[in-house]
A and B are shown apart, each in its own frame.
Chain A
């Protein structure tokens, strides 16, 4: 079964608008972490934001926020005020405590295109 599901292969957004990238996950481990990474065409994976399963508040990092709904097992990334440089692939990833702290399970990714 898919552990990380990103249902949007591609998304378009107008510059300066907000966009939400969806991510749902599946785990029976009570201790886990959720990550979002950005991958520009150059290939490097850039860390954006982290949410721990026991964190009470949604994580925020600048223009990025994570809408964490534990009961629904969703961890959507919200990018506010999109910029042209935000055009890239975005990956949601999960790390389970039982699976090993440094083994990330990735979703298939969402390609975001920001239009001027």
Chain B
């Protein structure tokens, strides 16, 4: 079974631009969560999508948004990029059937904002 895939793997943008990251979950997984990882703040939860609905949201500004499609693929968008948005963005998928379900992570998208 193929794992979680994320595209692109690397991105370089400039301040003020916007960016869209994509995540394809493991086949059959209905939940996709997004995390931001930075050296200063560590790993922080951004949001979770389940059946095309945002089910949970972390403490990030409205510039960070996402969506999920009917095939469970998810996209994350960051508008008006700031230098502090430079980070590794990880997505994770899970079956979301029980509370014990494990989240499996993709390889991440490394975003650099200049």
List chain A positions with a Cβ less than 8 A from chain B: 31, 33, 35, 37, 42-47, 50, 52, 91, 93, 95, 97, 99-109
Contact of B101 among A46, A91, A101, A103 (CB under 8 A): A101
Q: Is there an interface contact between B108 and A44, defined as CB atoms closer than 8 Å? A: yes
Residues in A neighbouring B106, C-beta threshold 8 A: 44
Residues in B neighbouring A107, C-beta threshold 8 A: 42
- Say yes or no: A102-B96 contact (C-beta < 8 A), given A43-B88, A43-B108, A108-B42: yes
Bound complex: CA of A102 vs CA of B58, how far in Å? 11
Q: Is there an interface contact between B100 and A52, defined as CB atoms closer than 8 Å? A: yes
- Main SS of the interface on chain B? strand
For the A-B complex, the count of residue pairs with Cβ-Cβ distances under 8 Å equals 69
Contact of B99 among A31, A47, A108 (CB under 8 A): A31
Q: Is there an interface contact between A97 and B108, defined as CB atoms closer than 8 Å? A: no
Bound complex: CA of A99 vs CA of B33, how far in Å? 14
Q: Is there an interface contact between B48 and A103, defined as CB atoms closer than 8 Å? A: yes
Bound complex: CA of A35 vs CA of B35, how far in Å? 16
